[in-house]
Amino acid sequence: MKIKKAVVPVAGLGTRFLPATKAIPKEMLTIVDRPTIQYIVEEVVASGIKEVVLVTASGKSAIENHFDYSFELETFLAQKGKLDLLREVKHISRLIDVVSVRQKEPLGLGHAVMVTENVIGEEPFVVVLGDDLVDAEVPCVYQMLRVFEKYQEAVVAVQRVPMEETHRYGIVEGEELEDGVFKVSRLIEKPAPGTTKSNLAIIGRYVLRPEIYDCLHRTLPGVGGEIQLTDALDMLRKERALYAYEFEGRRFDAGDKFGYLQATVNFALEHPELGARFRKFLKEVAKGL
């Protein structure tokens, strides 16, 4: 079955990025020349998905507006003959069909996925976190869809992290079935040091089956009183199956100040107009370190 919908949760409070995120959603913070959320949506579109379900909250309307048609702006740019900018603005408003669902309280990622149940229905779908960037030659979501096509069960994206950082992630253990594809046998949320030998950490990309909703309904609030997607995934693993996929590409947590800086440098170096100048600048800075 072809996957047509992507859920992008953007309802979190972004407390790690305060004060920048007091009035601006973290997903709208700019990385070089585009807001973080545009990179996410472009990855989804490049993976063949046009329908995006945004899980939003109050104060997040800038995200919906960014992908909407702006009559005033387009008319203004056309009248002034600023055709390159007009093309860019039109491109954004035509990228996706957006449906917004409100998460009335930030009760966790699991809860954010749960509120999309009526919009998604009985189809498999992908979840892409609104602040998790992956720079890859083949879009990460596309790589994951290929794994789903083969196994027809839920897939989580994983990356290897240093052992001393495993306590910050959801960690999976499992048997490697083929290059980079694991059948998950255990899922541990933020493991205490020494409690796992695995360093395969879950990042913000998931391909899910509709059965996840039933698991979410039965998931009790976990760490921080939030409904954790990881807990529901563990249930799904026990009742059906769960696969983990070590994707090819570089991942940045743009909801974290340091991750955001890394993403900015990475995408600035790759930028077609700014990259060469920025590289030269970085070399000059490095000389003084």
> Helix, strand, coil: what percent of the chain each, to 5?
40, 25, 35
Q: Compute the least distance from the CB of residue 141 to ligand UTP, in Å.
A: 15
The residue behind tokens 């407390």 is 15
β-pair partners for 156: 206, 244
Given CA atoms 43, 49, 55, 60 in this order, what sign does their dihedral have?
positive
Which range, of 8-16, 139-147, 164-172, 259-267, touches ligand UTP by CB under 6 A?
Answer: 8-16
Q: Give residue number: closest CB to ligand UTP.
A: 12
Report which of 273, 271, 272, 253 is spatially closest to residue 263, judged by C-alpha positions: 253
Residue 259 in the binding site for ligand UTP (CB under 6 A)? no
Q: Compute the least distance from the CB of residue 216 to ligand UTP, in Å.
A: 13
**CA–CA distance, 7 with 276 (Å, rounded to integer):** 35
Residue 107 in the binding site for ligand UTP (CB under 6 A)? yes
Which range, of 92-100, 125-133, 142-150, 232-240, touches ligand UTP by CB under 6 A?
Answer: 125-133
- In the complex with ligand UTP, which residue's Cβ is closer, 17 or 148? 17
**Residue 80 phi, psi (nearest 5):** -85, -5
**CA–CA distance, 190 with 213 (Å, rounded to integer):** 23
Site for ligand UTP (CB under 6 A): which residue of 109, 128, 144, 157? 109
**CA–CA distance, 40 with 60 (Å, rounded to integer):** 16
Q: Compute the least distance from the CB of residue 17 to ligand UTP, in Å.
A: 6
Residue 12 in the binding site for ligand UTP (CB under 6 A)? yes
Footprint of ligand UTP on residues 130-159 (CB under 6 A)? 130-131
- In the complex with ligand UTP, which residue's Cβ is closer, 125 or 278? 125
List of residues contacting ligand UTP (CB under 6 A) = 9-17, 55, 103, 106-109, 111-112, 129-131, 255
